[in-house]
Amino acid sequence: MKIPNRLQPLVDDGLIDAVLQRLKSGKEADVYTVLCGDNIQCAKVYKEASQRSFKQAVQYQEGRKVRNTRNARAMQKGSKFGRKQQEEVWHTAEVDALFRLANAGVRVPQPHMCLDGVLLMELVTDAEGAVAPRLSDVTLSEENAVADFDAMIRNIVRMLCAGIVHGDLSEFNVLLDAQGPVIIDLPQAVDAAANNHAESMFERDVNNITAYYGQFAPQLLKTRYAKEIWMLYEDGKLTPETPLTGLFVEELHDVDMDSLMDEIITAEDEYYERQRAAKERDDE
């Protein structure tokens, strides 16, 4: 096939020997299979900000650290240089997350390098060596759905223990190889401890996965892993091996309405007394 412009420099430098085919065109990147020596790898070519339908929303950027203060100021000002630096942060966020998660035992594609907006990484394949399908494109038996759901929950726990929340996890961002689910697409990943939106993103991620597998195993829809896992995380009790139940009971407290009304009335009386005293001082 014709070599895309963004991949041509890598071909010229000998990092890629041939471009085989385009796998998909997504909201943030185009993905190709490429030949690197004797190995077939995956090349993710990030789209320019103006071409992406997935916006770099503020809630995803919150908590991301930029070591160079000059770059940080430029990004805040939105200058041309700042926008370029912001693009690089967007690209390297996925590379950093992939390395951290792979080291933590999370099933993600093994990254190799990121250069000029192109990420080279492992090509995930099925048992026959073909490109692994997305989870959204497969039909599962109830037994397989339960087993894969358990594997996904355990991977999500490992992610959180590594300090990362995917932020956009669904059946469209998971591949299914011979060993089970593999999590992909992490440029919007957020720092669980530094991002104020991390909890709500985490709950959405888990609920999306639960809803998908629940199509094949309806009993999974009754689980409440998101709240259980996050509570353990906040309490400092979450480890990759922490036993989970899928249960969570909200703490409900009875409200003493009589005492509450007494406090409101007392506060009102104190307010009007201060108003009266202030008026008397003004009249003197």
Catalytic residues: 168, 185
Q: Which of 94, 98, 115, 91 is nearest to 16 (CA)?
A: 115
111-115 and 39-46 strand pairing: unpaired
CA 186 to chain centre: 6
Residue appearing with tokens 């009249």: 283
Across-strand partners of 43? 32, 120
Rounded Cα distance, 197 and 240, in Å: 22
C-alpha distance from residue 81 to each of 65, 85, 89, 177 (Å):
17, 6, 12, 41
- Show Cβ contacts of residue 41 under 8 Å, excluding neighbours closer than 6 positions: 33, 34, 35, 112, 120, 121, 122, 123
Rounded Cα distance, 108 and 38, in Å: 22
